[in-house]
Amino acid sequence: MSSGLLTRGPATRRAPAVPMDPRVQARRVEVARDQGRRRRRRLLGVFAVLLVAGGAWGITQSPLMAVDQVAVSGAARSGDAAVRQAAGISKGRPVVSVDEAAAEARVEALPWVASAQVTSKLPHAVRIRVTEREPVAVAGGGPAAVLVDRTGQALGPAGDARLPEVVTDKVPAPGEQLADNSREAVAVLASLPPELGEQVATVERHRSSLLLTLHDGIEVELGDGTRLQAKSDAAVALLEQAGRDTIATIDVSVPGTAALTRSEAAGA
C-alpha cells in the first residue's frame, strides 16, 4: 500500500547560455545601425522634397512672379483695352494661375475676333495674339447697317464702308448671325472671282436663286452657289459685249446657256 507521499524528481535545470560569437554580434549591431541610417536618409529626402516644393509654390505665389503686363497684338478693330477686359487677366495675380484656354474663349466671344492665343511668359508677362475677322459685306442700310464677315456674323457698325450690301429683313446686332438665306448669299459673294465680285453692289436671295445687282444696275441671276468660276466667266463675257449700257439682266444659272435681256429703252 502506498504511503500517500508523492515523490518529486530532481529539479529542472536551464541549459547554460552559449556565448555569442563576437563577430556575429558585431555584424548584428552594424546591420541595425545601417537600417537606422537608411531611415534617416529617407526622412531627410522627404523633408527636402517638401521644402523645395513649398519654396517653389511660395515663389510662384509671390510678387516675383505676378502679372504686371498684358500685351495685346492684332486687335486693330476690337481694341487692345476691350481684349484685355474680355480676357479677364488682372495685374498682380500669379502668372502660373492664368487659365489660358478660358481667357482665349472669352476673347473669341468678341464680335471681331476670329481666334485668340493667350500665352503666359514667366516671370511677369501675358501675351494675347488676336486674329480678326474680315468684313466682306454690309447688312442693311443707313445708321443701323453693320459689317458682316463671310460666315454671316455681324462685326460692328458699317459707317462709310464701301462694300456690297446683303439685302436682309433683319439686321443682326454685332456678334449675332444673319438669317440662313442671307448667310448663304454672303458666303457666295465672298467666293466670287474678283472679275465679277468687284462689280457687285447688292446680293440677295430671290426666290430660288441668288441675285446680284451690279453698280450700274444690271441684274445677274446666279442660280445656286455652285460652279461660281464658270458662272462668273460667262457673266463677264456677256458684260464685255458692246452696248453694256443697254443690258438689263444676265442669267448664268446654267453657265453653258447663259442669256441676257436688254432694256426696253434700248430696243426703242
- Which residues have a Cβ under 8 Å from the Cβ of 84 and sit 6 or more positions away? 70, 72, 128
Say yes or no to pLDDT of 37 above 90: no
Average pLDDT of 1-15?
51
For the segment(s) 65-132, the CATH number from 1.10.260, 1.20.1250, 3.10.20, 3.30.365 is: 3.10.20
- Of residues 9 and 157, the one with the higher pLDDT is 157
Domain with CATH 3.10.20 in the chain: 65-132
Question: What is the value of pTM for the model shown?
Answer: 0.71
Give CATH superfamily name and number for 135-267.
Cell division protein FtsQ/DivIB (3.40.50.11690)
For the ranges 11-15, 21-25, 72-76, 246-250, the lowest mean pLDDT is seen at 11-15
Q: pLDDT confidence of 264, banded at 50, 70, 90?
A: confident
Q: Return the sign of the alpha-carbon dihedral for residues 138, 140, 145, 150.
A: negative
Average pLDDT of 32-41?
60
Domain with CATH 3.40.50.11690 in the chain: 135-267
Q: For position 263, what pLDDT does the model report?
A: 87
The pLDDT tens digits for 49-61 are 434 444 444 444 5
